[in-house]
Structure 1
Amino acid sequence: MRITLTAKVAAGLATALAITPLALAVAPSSAATPDPVRVAAQPADGSTNVKVDGNRIILGDAPASMGSVEVRQRSGIANLDPIRFPAATSAVIANYQTGTPDNSTAEVDVRALVKDQWTEWTPARNGSPTVLPEASELVQLRIIVIAPPQGGSPWVSDVSVQPTNQADPSGIDVQAAPLTSHVFATREGLVGGTTANGHVIISRDHFVALPSRRGLANNGSGNYSVKVCTATRCAFEPVWDVGPWNTKDDYWNPSATREMWKDLPQGKPEAQAAYQNGYNGGKDQFGRTVANPAGIDLADGVFWDALKLTNNAWVDATYLWTGTGGRGTVSISSGYLNIRNAASSTGAVVGMAGKSAQVTVECQTTGQSVTGSQGTSNVWLRVHPGMYVAKAWINAGTFAAC
């Protein structure tokens, strides 16, 4: 059975779950074990460079581009409508057909809504159980299609998903505190290029790249965001690109659940191991000799303006979706929001938060009254020790006093 929500109900659901208003496919509630739910081949918000031919989603016609990973390729993303099951499930089985001509690839990923927060994307093998980080009744699938600069176009069709609790119980635990790693940061640059989620890079841009699509946010979204800090400054930025070096190195996950390089410790990028220790013969997943230990790429505005870096440097990166805790979303039309060392617009700037990025919230305090996208307020949020943002520019709830 498939239903389409009214605009009012869909908008309310989107506010509650931090997702855009979408049609939901609902599994029949009468079945003890629901049958597979067919997911319509209708790319939703956040999709890029895909087209529909009957029940197939096919790579679109955009030319090859090169993002942080510095490998020229044609790529497309199709986000499908979320699926609500009649009861929470600990795993799902996705079924689908693929066509991958001329060395192309097609992948289906799944994520779940847990504690009002989307988990990261996990590849869903056709016909096999995919364990969810935690039992959930709301899941979403997406399609990733990638091809060389020349050749045929990959496709995915006949997508369905079914809840199942018959799966290996090992999975990705949602931690109380998000993981932080000490990693080497490089500057992405590439102004005018296109990122893995379809964003066209502008001068002094605000986003980061991580070497795995599991934590890739939709263009314009910050539901996968990082906090990047030096000794004196911090930036909160959305993850809009894939790289550096690798595309399947989700090093922030436990070793057993990493997509590749499962013998490396959690928190250590493959490029760092290759550069420092000769791991994998000193090469990345594409066979290139790794020339630096980079585990994160920073857009120019993050590198130069938010963190005031002049050279590649070691930073502390926190992957916000890997844990729980107070959150808010930067609500500005473009650019960035200044982070200050006091609850006042006269406080010194000690960092920046990019458009749509999530920020951690430790507590709230009163300070200078500010008017912004969320109205006029004298409430300021502490997002890091000694660092504050005006709540007038943050979509967030109420927090304990500092």
Structure 2
Amino acid sequence: MRRTDRPRFGRRLPVLAASLTALSAFALGFGPAGAQDPATTRAAGPVTWRADLTAGSGDEVNLIRAGGSLRLRDGRLRPASVRAGRAQGTTVLPARVLDQAVNRIAVDLDATSPADTRTAVDVRGRDGLGRWTEWREARDGQPAALPRAVTEVQVRLTLVGTPAGATPEIRGLALSAELGAPAADAGAAGAAASAAATPFSARVFATREGLVGGTTANGHVIVANDHFVALPSRRGLSPKGSAQYSVRVCGPARCETAPVWDVGPWNTHDDHWNPSSVRETFKDLPQGKPEAQAAYENGYHGGLDEFGRRVLNPAGIDLADGTFYNVGLNNNGWVTVTYLWTGEATTRSFPTWGTGVNIRKQATSASTQVAQLSGPTTVRVQCQVHGQLVQVDGHSNDAWSYLPDYGGYISNIYIDVPEAWLPGVPNC
């Protein structure tokens, strides 16, 4: 129903307005209206915590703990695909469930990095539909901006040593997360995802990784006839044993879906599947063109990769032996790759009405409040479900809509359209 068919707090007498506000508070757990612009109203205050580095997560490679600090265990162990001369170790910390939606994560890292060594803090989030975002690096003074709001946050720590064996040391990590206006690249990612109802695909040059007995960037030990791929960015790297980030590779004979378990070839910061504005590096290249391909074919970046090595082939993906031969390759060659995690359902925008409208983690007023709209605004709706029946001033509705920008659900009774079930919006 439209707003004219529903109670309008601002046009009632004060006593009646107060009465209706109280009724809404009973139905949805409303709080007082905020003073911020509706589009930027957020749950109060950032969430802060300290990462526990003292215990192993069960998902790590080449690290040792001493006095609560993290260091590289073996100065010779390095990811297989990229073939760089630097040792690397990683750990994926347990995910942290939050009581409010967030999209910006700041870090305060206590670490020592000798010359030519490096540490990296990557974060990702899982939203109310159970989908993980890509990993994004957070640096001191430069928070990671996720492409959508999430209510669960996970951290991955990476330590990179020198060819001579020097290692960085991480002693502590504090984090702060909040729901704020999207950064420029996060907004571009959201817009691109909203426009793409299907995952992004590109034709790229594939090489055979081989290297049986080697160790991938996520700690998997490569076996004969293995099935996985390597991509030249940590942003789409699956935790060990998982297929959370997978690609569909189509070669001359057939297609195969395989998880991303390694980082490479050539580069480690080239998420070429992302739009140029969102891409971590080499932003002047078009979406779908790996830096190695541009360097090999056009002399881009002086014909060198990010390590300064001369690029000898245009590879944008490495295939484990089993995947390589299964798709019909006998020699390195061109394949079509679909980056399965990049697809998003198309969203539709709708106006809202009411003040102090709570957004919930689930489709019920008993669920945690993750954000709040202080007043009428426009929201993007991704999908809708039947949940708790909400009643306000003689009107009732059990439909709730999922808002990806806020990481939660709003009762459809506060979406300002005639229909109780939103037209053109799919089920969650």
TM-score calculated relative to the size of structure 1 = 0.69
| Matched residue, 1:334 | none
Name the CA distance, whole Å, in 1 between partners of 2:130 and 2:307.
37
Moved more, 147-156 or 255-264: 147-156
Residues 86, 162 of structure 2: 8 Å contact kept: yes
Moved more, 225-234 or 260-269: 225-234
| DSSP 3-state at the match of 1:236 | strand
| Aligned mate of 1:100, from 105, 109, 113 | 113
Does residue 159 of the first structure (1) align with residue 181 of the second (2)? no
Does residue 76 of the first structure (1) align with residue 89 of the second (2)? yes
Name the CA distance, whole Å, in 2 between partners of 1:83 and 1:271.
36
Summarize the alignment of residues 247-326 of structure 1 with structure 2, pairs less than 5 Å apart.
247-304=268-325, 306-324=326-344
Amino acid at match of 1:268: K
Amino acid at match of 2:257: F
Stretches (4+) displaced over 3 A: 165-169
| DSSP 3-state at the match of 2:150 | strand
Name the CA distance, whole Å, in 2 between partners of 1:205 and 1:108.
29
Q: Could you tell me the percent identity over the aligned residues? A: 48
| Matched residue, 1:182 | 203
Name the CA distance, whole Å, in 2 between partners of 1:74 and 1:40.
24
Name the CA distance, whole Å, in 2 between partners of 1:82 and 1:39.
10
| Matched residue, 1:127 | 141
Name the CA distance, whole Å, in 1 between partners of 2:77 and 2:252.
39
Name the CA distance, whole Å, in 1 between partners of 2:308 and 2:265.
14
Does residue 245 of the first structure (1) align with residue 245 of the second (2)? no
Higher RCO structure, 1 or 2 (CA under 8 Å, sep 6+)? 2
Name the CA distance, whole Å, in 2 between partners of 1:222 and 1:195.
14
Name the CA distance, whole Å, in 1 between partners of 2:268 and 2:143.
23
Unaligned runs of 5+ in 2: 1-42, 346-428
The one-character-per-residue Cα deviations of 1:282-326 (angstroms, maximum 9, x if unpaired) are 11111111111110011111111x11211111111011111247x
| Matched residue, 1:44 | 57
Name the CA distance, whole Å, in 1 between partners of 2:47 and 2:150.
17
Residues 82, 268 of structure 2: 8 Å contact kept: yes
| Aligned mate of 1:111, from 98, 101, 124 | 124
CA distance 1:120–1:35, shift in 2 (3 Å): closer
Amino acid at match of 2:337: A
Summarize the alignment of residues 209-224 of structure 1 with structure 2, pairs less than 5 Å apart.
209-224=230-245
1:168, distance to aligned residue in structure 2 (A): 4.4
1:119, distance to aligned residue in structure 2 (A): 1.4
CA distance 1:191–1:180, shift in 2 (3 Å): same
| Matched residue, 1:205 | 226
The one-character-per-residue Cα deviations of 1:21-59 (angstroms, maximum 9, x if unpaired) are xxxxxxxxxx93145211111341321111223342222
Summarize the alignment of residues 351-366 of structure 1 with structure 2, pairs less than 5 Å apart.
none
| Matched residue, 1:169 | 183
| DSSP 3-state at the match of 1:303 | helix
| Aligned mate of 2:44, from 25, 28, 32 | 32
Residues 275, 282 of structure 1: 8 Å contact kept: yes
| Matched residue, 1:139 | 153
Amino acid at match of 2:343: G
1:232, distance to aligned residue in structure 2 (A): 4.3
Amino acid at match of 1:314: W
Residues 230, 318 of structure 2: 8 Å contact kept: yes
Unaligned runs of 5+ in 1: 1-30, 326-402
Residues 84, 137 of structure 1: 8 Å contact kept: yes
Moved more, 278-287 or 173-182: 173-182
Amino acid at match of 2:200: L
The one-character-per-residue Cα deviations of 1:332-353 (angstroms, maximum 9, x if unpaired) are xxxxxxxxxxxxxxxxxxxxxx
| DSSP 3-state at the match of 2:121 | strand
The one-character-per-residue Cα deviations of 1:63-92 (angstroms, maximum 9, x if unpaired) are 334511111321111111212222111212
CA distance 1:302–1:71, shift in 2 (3 Å): same
CA distance 1:186–1:278, shift in 2 (3 Å): same
Amino acid at match of 1:307: V
Amino acid at match of 2:229: V
1:62, distance to aligned residue in structure 2 (A): 6.1
1:186, distance to aligned residue in structure 2 (A): 0.8
Name the CA distance, whole Å, in 2 between partners of 1:51 and 1:240.
22
Name the CA distance, whole Å, in 1 between partners of 2:154 and 2:79.
27
The one-character-per-residue Cα deviations of 1:354-396 (angstroms, maximum 9, x if unpaired) are xxxxxxxxxxxxxxxxxxxxxxxxxxxxxxxxxxxxxxxxxxx
TM-score calculated relative to the size of structure 2 = 0.65
Amino acid at match of 1:143: L
Q: Which has the larger radius of gyration?
A: 2
| Matched residue, 1:54 | 67
| DSSP 3-state at the match of 1:76 | strand
Moved more, 62-71 or 181-190: 62-71
Amino acid at match of 1:273: A
| Matched residue, 1:64 | 77
Name the CA distance, whole Å, in 2 between partners of 1:190 and 1:55.
34
Name the CA distance, whole Å, in 2 between partners of 1:289 and 1:61.
27
Q: How many residues align?
A: 294
1:229, distance to aligned residue in structure 2 (A): 0.5
Q: For the aligned residues, what is the CA RMSD?
A: 1.9
